[in-house]
Structure 1
Amino acid sequence: MHAKPVAVAVLTACALGALGALGACSGDRPAVELSQAAAGTPTPAQTVTVTELMTPTVTTTATQTLTTTATVTVTALPRPSLSTSTTFNQSLASLDYTNLIDDVRVLDGMPGTGSPTALQFEVLARHLASLRANGAPPGIDPPSYYSRIGSLQLFAEAASTEAAAGSPQAAGRYAVIRQETGVLLSLVNGALRSNYALPAPPRPTTSTPTTTASR
């Protein structure tokens, strides 16, 4: 029944002895107060390098190839002017109309080709140019008047070239010139109350076969 108190007493004595031994071991060292304790070892400064990732800017240049098509400009042949500011001079125009009638009369009696015929076509072209530069008679539409005379002039010049070359087209072109000149004079007569007229066209020559009586 008294075993437990004895054991406790023994353990207590042992513990006290151990504490005495620890005090004897540390008795030769000076006491250290907490306020005198050395601070912790300072941590050396460190340099931290932060590498920032940069996203490069990419510039894209688009190249576009343009295919151009060459434009072909076609220049038309010169055409007669349809208007003029010249004031109509009736006395000069009357002389030109008379010259046209004489030119037709001369051409009626000439062969269709040859140098003389070509020269006469040139004379006709000059008279037409003079008439066109003299202005339009009052009462006639100027654009139509100038266009008609200009066309006759171009035909006369072409007929001159064809007649000089001996081309049979000169005779056919003259037939058109003669007909359209008559139309022009009819328009002038209606505007000026004049009576310009071409001579009657020459009759085509026909050859009569000759018969010889046999004996």
Structure 2
Amino acid sequence: MSVDRARVERLTRELLEAIGEDPDRPGLKQTPARMAELYAEFFGGLSEDPASHLERTISVSRGPAPDTLPSGAVLLRDIRFRSVCEHHLLPFAGVAHIAYLPGEQVVGLGALVKVVETLATRPQVQERLGEQIADVIAENLDTRGVLVVLDAKHGCVTLRGGRQPESTTVTIAARGEFTDPIARAELISLIGSGAVARAPLTEHTE
């Protein structure tokens, strides 16, 4: 189901009135339409299947060395993403780092970016977002292990409450062989141990 733009416009007018504003004054007259466009962009992932981006795979055994299979991880760093926290509908944004241990099939790197973008464009919490990315990759690719590290700034921390503008949150989701901290230590180092060490760490593995 796609975002109901007309309804968002109506509700935005009601919200403006509820806070004591006049939605018909010049500065706010176009705000309901802008909010409808914004929400359609921010929550477009609700109507999209993230697994669909992983349907096209590439064989790595059919090439110059057909008997050779990958022995190490594929790591894609610094995937920029932004999402909206479901608690206060404030934005959070940062980078995602994704690694997986491939079998005979790999996926185009852009597909991993699409998985992140699809799941991020929904009302989210960072902890769940990382878990969902890991699950989609683990369940739809030929992998022996998946690691997802998210590092983000949250509007609910930087703009309200304690107002900590420099605070970031790091979460780790691991599947398969990467549930072993020793197995993922090299990847954490490649991602950048400084970023992980500076931020609060929430970790969940399966």
The TM-score with structure 2 as length reference comes to 0.26
Looking at CA atoms only, which structure, 1 or 2, has the larger radius of gyration?
1
* Structure number having the greater helix percentage: 1
The TM-score with structure 1 as length reference comes to 0.26
